[in-house]
Amino acid sequence: MAIDPLLVTNGTTSLIVSIVSIVIGIKLTFKYFKYKERALLFAGLTWLLMYEGWWGPSLSFLMLIFTNQPLPIEIFFIISMSLIPLGITIWMIAFTDLKYKKFQKPLLILFIIQMIFFEIFSMYFLFTDASIIIESIGVIDANYKSFIIFFLIEIAILLIITGTLFAWESFKLEKQEMRLKGIFMLIGFIFLIVGSLLDVFLELDIITLLIYRSLLVVSSFTFYFGFFLPKPFKKLLLKMG
């Protein structure tokens, strides 16, 4: 099978986005064992799982290279979507830990129930009539349909609200370094949401792929800087501020 430039760009950028987000997620997760801060563990796991949507195209691209066959659509969906509900649930634990502890239990119960229903219905349709929720486009990618679209929009709105509130807590602190971290965290969320929505809902060509996926890569680094600023970068920014 001939591999065209758009397919190569799609597969390669999906791989880059996946690898960068996994590395950042693992780095934050392992920081928990050093600092014993639960927020680091949850933030790392959240960031890793929120990028699951690019695992499917990445693995499908690798399968195409090595076997000349992309992933079956059912496997593609499971690899790309099945853990996102877990990721957003973990994020809600981290968010409610911050300042909303008294509302944590009822919110999480409602949220977990919704996530369970999402998993049940998506798996049911996937193995009875997958075309209701997903359709292949090109060779290694797919379009989501039906309630999957509403689920993705809900997650985007939720991340915008909770990410802003999470970062806002840093803005209110007197220490300039913490305010800088809040800015980076907010930028990370914004780039994640903007890049994801553009990637999912708009038609992709080589130029738009490079732009959207660049936003996603940058979002991972800026989110990490929201917790750990590199020392040279921190000194420069503090001098400029």
Let me know if 75 is exposed, middle or buried by CB neighbors in 10 A (0-12, 13-18, 19+). Answer: middle
Residue 17 pLDDT greater than 60, yes or no:
yes
**pTM for the full predicted model:** 0.92
CA distance 83 to 21: 15
- The per-residue pLDDT for 172 is 78
Average pLDDT (149-161) is: 92
Beta bridge partners of 141: 137
Token digits of residue 128: 């009875």
Length of the chain as a residue count: 241
Taking residues 135-144, what's their average pLDDT?
90
Would you tell me the crossing angle of helices 176-201 and 147-171 to the nearest 10 degrees?
170
Contact 144, 60 (CB under 8 A): no
Digit-coded pLDDT (tens) for 157-199: 999 999 888 888 887 777 778 888 888 999 999 999 999 999 9
User: Domains in the chain, ordered, with CATH?
Assistant: 5-240 (1.20.1070)
pLDDT per residue as tens digits for the range 197-229: 999 888 889 999 999 999 999 999 999 999 998
pLDDT band at 71; cut points 50, 70, 90: very high
Of 172, 216, 92, the closest CA to residue 181 belongs to 172
